Structures are given as structure tokens and as C-alpha cells.
Structure 1
């Protein structure tokens, strides 16, 4: 059976604010992973990731029910029929890697346009890690 997989790096990670409400009940598997990007701290208490060449650390979450994606889209203020500028995040397919650097899988994730990060006053997190607890 093929599961819906999503790379999360912020409030949807295990132990963070939105994990229990949006993920825990539907989760089949979760494992640490990295991806290529740039991670930013936003002043709203959550992060944003853009395309880039640094390591961003998070988790690949596997869900049995693909309908979870609709709830995540709402949380991330993403609607596929709106323009990129109208969405807060863009849902995109990205490659993920194990902690040893080996390719794992291509999954969904939510990225923010660099212009929006700048507008919101995002501060680069060179470590590639974000936590709010």
C-alpha cells in the first residue's frame, strides 16, 4: 500500500504544536530526514523553508489517508487554484535524504516564496533546525 508522505520541519514535527491535532491520529510512520533548502524563523512562532542548498532537518510523515493533505493545505494557507502570491506556502514535491545523506524519497512539503519570507522578516537559521518548545 502506498502512503501519503510529507516532509515537515516546523509545527507539524513530532512534539511540536500542531503535530497532535493534524498528524498523530493518522500517522503510520515518522522518521528523521533532511532536504535541501533554507530554513527561516518567522516572527509568528513558526518557520518557513525556501529552495536552497543548505540542509533542513525535519521528519517524513507517512499517512494512510491521503485526505490529511486537505487539512494540511488549510493549515498552511495553500490552495492549488490560487496564485502563488495569494498562498502563504506552496505545496511542492521535494527530495528527502537520510541522516547519512542517502536519498530516501520524493514527498510533499510546504515551501514559502523568498519574497514572502523577506516581507515577513524571516531570519535565516543556519543550523537547519527549528523548534518552538
Structure 2
């Protein structure tokens, strides 16, 4: 990926503005942030962070526009995603359509998801409202 290419990333957990990982990993690259949602199902993991699957439902989050696609390298490491070995990664990274709060498409963005089987192995707790914050789980 070229470092000069804008990058869109949908975040729903610790990478959202106001959560602990945003300042170090996303804020240096973020040039825009807007509330958004995407199709999926959100879970809280006992490890203290969320996971999203591509099952039916809505996940609330933030669509970030990053000034450089190089930001994904550090975020991939944080999310334990290895693009050279995706099958052995904790999360998978893929492009998915993201919507505004009125369910109008905003475009496609990178998103990190887990398989339903992996969420089950991790004893994930389904969040039917589709919204996760660290303050709710503290």
C-alpha cells in the first residue's frame, strides 16, 4: 500500500475516539471521523475488548478517514492480524460497506472481524444494541 493513499477504517471498540487505543494508533492519521454503522453482530469478550462478526444485525461505530494507508500496519499489529497469514490471525481485515445513522451507504471501509466460531470459543457476550464502550464494561 502506498503511504499517500487515503484509507477508510470502521472502528467499533478500543480504536474509537475516546477509547484507549485511538490516541496512539488512529489519532495521528485521522483527518475525519463520523458516526457510522455496518452490518454485523457485536460481542464483548472476557478479555476486555469487543469482536464483530458478519452475522445479521447492526454494529454502531465510527468511520475514520486516515491520511495514510500506512496506519493499517500498526493497527494490523494491534489487532493481531497478519496479512501474510490471515488464517492464523485473531481478527480478519476486509472491506465492507458502511452506512450513516439513517442506513444510507457511505462507501466501503476496512473493518476487523472475527468468525462466530472464534467468538464462541472466546465466550463472547452478544451486545444486541450493537454498541461497545470501555466505560460500559468497567
Task: Report the TM-score, using the length of structure 2 for normalisation.
Answer: 0.92
**Which secondary structure does the structure 2 equivalent of 1:25 belong to?**
coil
Aligned counterpart in structure 1 of residue 21 of structure 2, from 13, 18, 23: 18
Q: Which residues of structure 2 form unaligned runs of 5+? A: none
Following superposition, the deviation at residue 12 of structure 1 comes to 0.3
**Partners of 2:9 and 2:91 in 1: how far apart?**
14
Task: Report the TM-score, using the length of structure 1 for normalisation.
Answer: 0.96
After TM superposition, the runs of 4+ consecutive aligned structure 1 residues lying more than 2 A away are none
Partner of 1:100: 102
**Partners of 2:98 and 2:45 in 1: how far apart?**
23
Task: Tell me how many residue pairs correspond in the alignment.
Answer: 132
Query: CA RMSD, aligned part only?
Result: 1.1
Following superposition, the deviation at residue 2 of structure 1 comes to 5.4
Partner of 2:39: 36
Q: Which residues of structure 1 form unaligned runs of 5+? A: none
Following superposition, the deviation at residue 22 of structure 1 comes to 0.5
